[in-house]
Structure 1
């Protein structure tokens, strides 16, 4: 499995960016999975040759950690600009 960041969800289409290789974009269609995801979430995912999802794991703790790190960086930037 590879780790991806959910770039965006539109209907049942999910656009994912591979962690560490964000230039690699993957688009999968999975109605049930798309209802569980929101932009910015991290997910371990295995995709079949036909583009369908064979298995996944939503990385809740990792997503929370990344969001906290991003908020901390934003707060630092905003403090410097004041």
Structure 2
């Protein structure tokens, strides 16, 4: 088993697209029900098998809130220019 940190980027039909936090160019596409009831933008700690199958996950609430705050601060600065 291995644990990785992902951002839940988006849902596409019955799939969820996860972006690896350490390299957001690396996507992982999983069945939507594997990460429900997460929301887009949530940061997830995902436990995977050696075959990269999702075993479990948990939402990292404080990391998610911090990332949202940073994104909102950037948007606010861009709007205020």
Partner of 1:54: 55
Seen in structure 2, the aligned counterparts of structure 1 residues 79 and 14 have a Cα distance that, compared at 3 Å, is same
Root-mean-square deviation over aligned CA pairs: 1.6
Between structures 1 and 2, the one with greater helix share = 1
TM-score, L = length of structure 2: 0.83
Unmatched 5+ residue regions in structure 1? none
The total of aligned residue pairs comes to 78
Partner of 1:6: 8
Instruction: Give the whole-Å Cα distance in 2 for the aligned partners of 1:9 and 1:25.
Output: 13
TM-score, L = length of structure 1: 0.82
Runs of 4+ in structure 1 displaced over 4 angstroms?
none
CA radius of gyration, larger in = 1
- Which one of 19, 22, 32 corresponds to residue 20 of structure 1? 22
Partner of 2:71: 70
Unmatched 5+ residue regions in structure 2? none
